[in-house]
Each structure stands twice: as C-alpha cells, then as structure tokens.
Amino acid sequence: MHELSIACEILEQVKNTAAAHGAIKVKHVTLQMGRLSHTNPEQLSFCFKAIAEGSIAEDADFIVEMVPPSLECECGYTGAIDEKQIQESSEFTSELLAYIEVDKECPICGKQAQLAGGRELIIKSIEIETEDDLTADR
C-alpha cells in the first residue's frame, strides 16, 4: 500500500502551491492517473482526506481523472485505443492485461504499435479561494 506516501507528496505540493498563491482554502484538487499505474484512486482519495485534516485542503474535493494509454507506432502514427474492446475483455481478465493484450495493429502501416503513457500520476490543478483580488498565475 503506497497510496499514503503518494498522498503525502500530493498534499505537500498542493499546500506549497496554495500558499504561494495566497489561498485561504483549497476547494478542488484534480489529478490525472494513468490506467496502467499501480495506484488505487479510492485508497488515494481516502488517504488524502485523512492527512489533509486540519490543513488548508481539509474540505477539498479530490477528483481523479483516469487516463488510458494510447498507441504509438514507429511510423509516426499516434491514436487512441478502442475502449470498447478493453471493456469487453476486462470482464474476463484484469484491466491491466486487457490493455497489454489489446489489438495494437497500426491502422496506417499495419505493424504492431506500442502502448504510450497511461502510467502517469499528475496533479493537474487546484482550485483555491483567496481573499484579495489576485491576478492568478497561470
């Protein structure tokens, strides 16, 4: 179970960014989690809420957007994976295996494309409340 240490890292980053922007409250924390990463979104959310107690992010909504891997071929083609196929085979096997075993034939050159991405864990953005009229950095 490594969700706790990841949650600690996320809270640290969120607190630093919030403080740097003069926040009095963090309302939302939005993450992007790759579907091939070995992190459990529910456990991560639970850990974050537990450690955020008493901090500026105490009442923040913790939003996890799951990001699927995509296909990348040596011919230069990049494209999405047929999610319907993943859903169907996920019923018989794990989702991880479904992505690995999905048909990866490149629609352009016919070679086998590779999985790209899907392993990230990104703190995408936070929504904060401030008292003063700050020009929010972007």
Residues engaged in binding other proteins (CB under 8 A): 1-2, 4-6, 9-10, 13-14, 17-18, 21, 23, 27, 36-39, 93-94, 96-97, 100, 119-134, 136-138
Element (H, E) at 125: strand 121-130
The phi and psi torsions of 76 (rounded to 5 degrees) equal 110, -10
Nearer residue to other proteins within complex by CB, 111 or 124:
124
Report in angstroms how near the CB of residue 72 gets to other proteins at its nearest. 15
Find where tokens 């936070």 sit. Answer: 126
Q: Which is nearer to other proteins, 38 or 83 (CB)?
A: 38
Residue 23, phi then psi, degrees to nearest 5: -75, 145
Q: How far is the CB of 127 from other proteins (least distance, A)?
A: 5
The position carrying tokens 């990841």 is 6
Please identify, using beta-carbon distances, which residue of 9 and 88 lies nearer to other proteins: 9
Question: Closest Cα partner for 6 from 61, 64, 69?
Answer: 64
CB of 80 or CB of 135, closer to other proteins: 135
Closest CB 108 distance from other proteins, rounded Å: 22
Distance CA 104, CA 96 (A): 15
